[in-house]
Chain A
C-alpha cells in the first residue's frame, strides 16, 4: 500500500512570498489532516478535512493560510504572504482502518524555510 505523498520536500522562500504544498493521501482515506511542526515542538493541527469538507480549522491562521481538498482526494495548503515564523515542517496525514482500528498515517513532510 502506497503511503501519504507530499511535495515538494523542501522549499526556501523570502518573506512576503507565497508558497503551496501538495498532499496525496492513502487511497480510500476520507479524512486528511495538515499539521505544522516548528523546530523543537510537536506537530500542531492546522486543518482537518472529511472528504472535501472542513471539520476543524480553528488553529489555521486564516489571514494568510488557506487549504482545499476539492475532489475529496488530493489537498493543497497555501501560505500567502509568508512570514519568518512560518518556517516549519508541514505534515500531511490521512486516516484509515488497520486491524479494525482507525490509524493516522503521516507523510514525510515539506520543510519550509522563510528568509
Chain B
C-alpha cells in the first residue's frame, strides 16, 4: 500500500529565507509524486509533480522538488520565502500506471512566513 509522511505539521520561516518542506513516501511500485498548496478556504492547487522523467522538478511560484529514490523522499524547496507563500502544503503519491488517478495525501504542513 502507498503512504506519505510529511515531517513537521508546522514550519515557520522568515521572509527571504529558504523554505524546506519534507515528504517521504512508501510505494511498492514506481510512484508519481505531487505537491499541492491550499490557501485558506480554497481548494488544492498543483505546485508540481514528478512523473518518472527528470528527478528535479520545477513548479510554479519558484518552488522545486527533487525525487530521491534511495531516500524515498520528495522534499519541496524554495530559495527565498515570500509572505504570499503562507499556506498549507500537501505531498501526495499516486501509482505510476495511473498517474492521474487516486491520490494518497500526507497530513499536510502549514507554512508560516514571518516579516
| Chain A residues with a Cβ under 8 A of chain B | 4, 31, 33, 40-45, 48, 56, 91, 93, 95, 101-109, 111
> What is the interface of chain B mostly: helix, strand, loop, or mixed?
loop
Within 8 Å by CB of A44, from B41, B43, B46, B105, lies B105
- Residues of chain B at interface, number, CB under 8 A: 22
| A106 with B43, Cβ < 8 A, contacts A33-B102, A42-B90 known | yes
Q: Is the CB of B90 within 8 A of A43?
A: yes
| Chain B residues with a Cβ under 8 A of chain A | 4, 9, 36, 41-46, 49, 51, 90, 92, 99-103, 105-108
- How far apart sit A43 and B38, CA to CA, in the bound complex (Å)? 11
For the complex of A and B, the 9 pairs showing the least CB-CB separation, nearest first, are: A42-B105, A102-B100, A106-B43, A106-B44, A95-B100, A108-B43, A43-B105, A107-B43, A45-B102
- How far apart sit A102 and B42, CA to CA, in the bound complex (Å)? 22
Q: Is the CB of B102 within 8 A of A41?
A: no
Q: Is the CB of B43 within 8 A of A4?
A: yes
Q: Is the CB of A101 within 8 A of B99?
A: yes
